[in-house]
Chain A
Amino acid sequence: MSSITYLESQKDEYRILDQWLKAREYVYVGKDVKRIDALDKVTGRARYVEDFLVEGLTYARIVKSDIPHGVIEWIRPGRAVEHPDFIALVTCEDIPGLNQVGYYIPDQPALAEKKVRFHGEPVALIVSSKPDSLEELRNLVEVEIKPLKAVYDPLEALKDKVLVHEEHGSNIVLRTKVKKGDVSKALENTDYVVENVYKTGYQEHAYLEPEGALAIPMDGGMTIILPAQYPHLAQSIIARVLGYPQSKIRIIQPVIGGGFGGKDDMGPIIGAQAAIAAYKVRRPVLLVYTREDSFTSHCKRDPAYIRYKSGANRDGKLTFVDVEIIFDAGAYANRGPFTLWRATAHATGPYEVPNVDVRGILVYTNKVYQGSFRGFGNPQVQFAAERQMDELADKIGIDPLEFRLKNILRIGSRISTDQVLEDSVGVGEALVRVAEKCGWFEKRKKYGKIVDGKARGIGLACAWHGISTSRGVPDWCNAYINVSKDGSVSIYTGIVEIGQGTHTGLIQIAAEALGIPVEKINLIGGTTDAPDTGATHGSRGLSFGGVAILLAASKIREKVQKVASRIFECKPEDVEIRDGWVFEKIKPEKRISWEEAVKRCYAEGEELSATGYFFMPKGKFDEEKGQGFAYIVFSYMVSAVEVEVDLETGLTRILKVWPAICAGKIVNPKLAVTQIHGATVQGIGYTLMEEVVIEDGKIVNTNYTDYLIPTISDIPEIDEPIFVEDYFKFGPMGAKGLAEMALIPIPAAITNAIKHAVGVKPSEIPYTPEKLYRDLLRRMRE
C-alpha cells in the first residue's frame, strides 16, 4: 500500500496510537461500562429539542408542495393573516444568504424556488405564536403551482424526456466506475455464469423523534439547538443560507431520539429552515416536522436497480463480476454521489475477484430524495452480491459457505479497486466460526423439506464496509480536553450522541488514557463549541472520534507523567497512572493522587489542556481508470439466519440469527451487542416488511399504522455475537466501525435462507409474503 500518504507532521500521533494498540490490556476499554445517559432517559429527564423553552418562542411548520413537479406561480398567506396567532409566512424570498442546502452538488434549496421537484417539498414556513394553530394556519396558506410532467421510474428518467433539473441538462447526476482486469476475456474462460436483476426499495429511518430545530437569534448570530449528526456541517450550511460568517453560528445538540444517518442530512436542512424563519421574525423559532411531514419530506434509503452478472470456475474460484447499479436519487443529489460510490466499490462483496467491471448511475426522479441511512448504499449492493453468491454456488453444485471461503478476502488480497489489504481482515475467521455455531452443514442437509405446509431453511451472508471517507476525500478528527484544577476533566467533541451510546465509549477511552475513573470525566459533545471532529456517520463516531480523544488525553497523560517523574525522580515513561493514582511503575506503594498531580502541574507551569487532531492517511483513486485506493480499512460482518416459511401464506418467520463482527477492538461489548441487535432488526424490517408506497409521486403511507417496522414480537432470538477482534492500526486501541455493520448482510442472509427452505429465488426486497407467495405459485407451475 505504498500509495498511502503518511504525514510527517503526524508522526507523534502514529507513535501514540501504536503504543495503545500494543498495550492490549485495558482497565476501562473492553468493559461493559453503563451508559452515561441511561438514567436520564429512563426517568424522563433527558431533554429533546422540543423540551427547551426560551423567552419569546414562536412555532413553525413547513408548507409543502402537493404536486410532484411544477412551477411555482405564487405563495400567499391568504386568510392566515387574519388569524390572531399568525406571525409570518416565510418563503425563499426571505432568505438573506444563498438558498442552497445541497450537500455535494448545489442543487437543493432550503425552500423551493421557482420549481418544486417532489410531492412534499417544503415551499414555505408558517410561523405562529402557538403550536396548536399551526395546522390550521398551514391549511390557510395559498400555494399555486403549475404542474409539469413528472418522472418517477429511474429507468424511464434515463431517457431524459422529463428533466427534473433543466439546468443540469440530464437526469443523470453522475456516473461511477470501478474496473480491474478484463471482464469480457474472463467471461470466455468461465465455466459457470449467473445473471440476475436485483431491486431494493426505499427505507424510512423511522426514528422515534422526527426532525426538529430550535433557532435562537442571539449574540449577533444564531444559536441552533439541533438534532444533527455533524454540527460543523450544519454550521457551514446555515451560515451560507443566512449569509453569516460560520463562527456566528453555534450548534448545540439536545438529546436526540435516533438518527440512523437521516439526521446527518436533515440536521443542516431543518436547521437552515428554522434559522431563516428566526432571522425573519427576529424571535426564537421551534420548527418540528410532524410524523407525516417526516414521512413525506425527509430523505430515505436509496432504491436501487442492480444488474448483476458473475462467474466462477469448476474449482469454485470467482473469475469475474460485471455489475450495473442504478440508484434512484429522487429530486436532489444529496448524498447520492457517495452512496453510489460506496455501492460501486463494494459490489464484489468481500471476495477476491480478478476481473471487475462495476458501473454506477445516479438518476434524478420526481420523488423524495435519498440520503444517508445505516449502511450508506452498501446494503443494496451486498444484497445483490450475496444472493448472487448463493445462486452461483448452486450452479456449480458447491456449498455456499465453502464457495465463500474459497474466495474470501484475506490479508494481502487485492480488492475490487486493486487496493491491497495490509491488515485487519477477520472475515474468513468470522465465516468459519458462524458456520460452526449455527450448525451449518447439518442444517443445510436437514432443512429444505416441507412438513405440514411449512419448511425451514438456513442461509448466511457476508458484508464488508469501508471505514472513513472513500478515495482521497480528506477525513480528520479532533477533540479538546481540559483538566480543571480539581482534577475533573472536560472533553469537547463534535461527535454526536444519537442514541448509539458513543459518548459513553468515548469517555471509556479517555479514562483509559488518563488513568482516571469515568466518573471524573464530563463530555460535551455534538456542538460547534468543540473543534471540527467530522460527522457522526460511517461508523466513525467511536472509532474515529475516539482516536482524537485518545491522542488529546495521551498528550495530557505525558505532561502529568513528566511532572510526576520529577517527584519520583524517575523517567517520565516509568510513571504509571491508574485508577486515579500516579506512581512509579516499580514502586506502586509510593503514590500521589491524580488531584495532587494536577495541582502540581498547575503550580509548575504545565498546561493541562490539549487537542487531538488526526488526519487519516489517504491514497489516490484514479477515477478514469476506476482503480486505486478505496478505504483505509474495512469492517466485516457475517450473519447466519434460520427461517421457517409457511408455503400456504408466504409468511416467513425468522427463528434465529447468528452474528459475527470484525470491528477490531470492542470498546464496550454491551453497547456493541445493542448496536448489533438494533441493526439486525432494522435489517429484518428492510428485508421483509418496510415498504414506502408511492402513488403518482405521493407517499401514501405516512404513519406507523401503514408503514410497518418490526415489533417486539417479530424479533427473533439473536445469538451472542462473535467478536473477531482484527485490530486496526489507526483506531483507538485498534477499534474499527461497528454500528452499521449488522444491517448489511441481513437482506441476503434472510433471502438465502428462504431459498434454502422453499427453493424460490428472491431478487427483490422488501420480500413481502405477497411476493413470496407469488414466487411459490410460479415455481409450482414451472
Chain B
Amino acid sequence: MSQNKNINLGYINLFNTHIIPVKFNYHAPQTLEEALNLLNKLKDKARVIAGGTDLIVDMKLRRKEPEHVVSLNKIRELDYITVDSLGVKIGAIVKLRKIEKEKIIRERFPALYEALKSMASIQVRNMGTMVGNICNASPAADTAPPLLIYNATLTAKSLNNERKIPIEEFFKAPGKTALKEDELVTEIFIPYPPQDSHSTFLKITRVGMDLSKVSIAVLTKFNGSIIEDIRIALGAVAPTPLRIRRAEEFLKNKPLTEENLKIVQEIVAKEIKPITDVRSTEWYRREVAKVLVKDALMKCLEEEGGR
C-alpha cells in the first residue's frame, strides 16, 4: 500500500510457503502393492497420508516428525464405495464428503450420515477420509461411534497378509490402534443394520465446527414396546471410543420406560471415564453423556412411533 522505493517488490517470499518445518521424503505409489512394499521396507519410519487433515497439523506442530510420508492419494483402486446385499464397502481414500453425499448412507446408516454431516467444515470434509478419521484414533473421532454401533469391520493389509479387524477391537489408546507398522487399512465394511431398526448420532461441541466434548451413536430395534436389539457407543468420554455393553445388556428385552432410562443413564455415567481438559470438565461430560443417552434413545423411540 505504501511506496517503498528502496525495496524490491518483485518477488514473493517463497520461503513462507513452507508450512511444515521438518524435512521428509514423500512417496506417492500408484498401486496398493507398491504402497505395501514401501511400508514393509520403511516400517515405523513412515506415516501414511490420505486427506492429511490430521497428519499435516501434527507435522506442522512437530508432534509427528516422520522421515517418510507415504501418500495413498494416487492409488485409484482404493477410491470406491461399493454396495451389495450385505452392506457397504468404502475404500481408504474416499473423502468424507463423498460418503456423506451417498444416498445409501443417508438412507440406511443415518447415525453415520449425521456424524459425517457434523464434522468440521465442508472444506475439511472434502479433504479428510473416514479411514483416516478411524486410523488417527482420536477418542473424539466422530465417525467412530456410528461405525461401532453398525459393527463395521476393517480390512488391514500388509505385503504378505490380510486380516479383518472388528472396529471394536481396533482402538487401543489415544492415537494407538491394533494396526501393525507395515499394515494399511484398505477398506471399511459396514453391514446393514437389522431391518426396522433405528439409529442416530448426537454430539456436543463448544462451537459450530469443533471436536466433540461428548458424542453418541445409538441403534435400537423394537418389538412392540420391547427393545429387541440395542447398541450404544460414545466418543470423547474415555481413552478410546467405546461400546457400552453393560447398558445394552440391561436394556435388551425390556421396554423403554422412564425408570429403565434412568438406570441406563447411570450405567453409562459409570462406564465412561471422561477427563477434564481444555474442552470441558469431567463432571460436565458425565452429566451431558447422560442427557445424550436419553435424547438419542428418545429420538429412536419417536421414529419407532412414527413408523
Interface residues in chain A, defined as those with a beta carbon under 8 Å from any beta carbon in chain B:
37, 47, 50-55, 57, 59, 130-132, 134-136, 216, 218-219, 223, 225, 252-255, 286, 292, 497, 503, 523-527, 529, 648-651, 689, 693, 700-701, 703, 705-714, 768-770, 773
Contacts and interface: CB of A to CB of B under 8 A. Distances in A.
Contact of A53 (B1, B12, B121, B288): B12
A648 B290 CA distance: 10
8 contacts: A131-B21, A132-B15, A132-B21, A219-B6, A524-B2, A649-B291, A703-B61, A769-B284
Given A525-B2, A708-B210, A770-B284, 14 more contacts: A53-B11, A131-B15, A132-B18, A527-B2, A648-B295, A651-B204, A689-B206, A693-B278, A700-B278, A705-B57, A706-B279, A707-B278, A769-B204, A769-B284
B3 A135 contact: no
The 6 A-B residue pairs with the shortest CB-CB distance, nearest first, are A713-B208, A711-B208, A53-B13, A53-B11, A50-B16, A252-B2
Given A255-B1, A649-B204, A51 B7 contact: no
Nearest to A255: B1
A639 B57 CA distance: 39
B34 interface: no
A52 B9 contact: yes
Contacts of B10: 53
Contacts of A50: 13, 16
B19 to A, nearest CB: 10
B281 interface: yes
A54 B6 CA distance: 10
Contact of B1 (A132, A525, A769, A770): A525
A711 B211 contact: no
Contact of B278 (A136, A292, A701): A701
- Among B10, B14, B18, B61, the most chain A Cβ lie within 10 Å of the Cβ of B61
B96 to A, nearest CB: 17
B6 A52 contact: no
B164 to A, nearest CB: 33
B208 A714 contact: yes
A524 B3 contact: yes
A643 B207 CA distance: 16
B303 interface: no
A422 to B, nearest CB: 38
B62 interface: yes
A253 B1 contact: yes
Nearest to A231: B2
Nearest to B294: A648
Contacts of B3: 524, 529
Given A132-B18, A216-B7, A703-B61, A253 B284 contact: no
Nearest to A497: B1
B8 interface: yes
Nearest to A59: B15
A52 B287 contact: no
B211 A705 contact: yes
B141 to A, nearest CB: 14
B62 to A, nearest CB: 7
Nearest to A55: B8
A135 B62 contact: yes
Contacts of A712: 208-209
Contacts of A225: 4, 7
Interface string B15-59: 110100101000000000000000000000000000000000100
A687 to B, nearest CB: 13
A52 B13 contact: yes
Contacts of A254: 1
B280 interface: yes
B11 A709 contact: no
A130 B18 CA distance: 11
B6 A218 contact: yes
Given A50-B13, A649-B288, A770-B280, A709 B6 contact: no
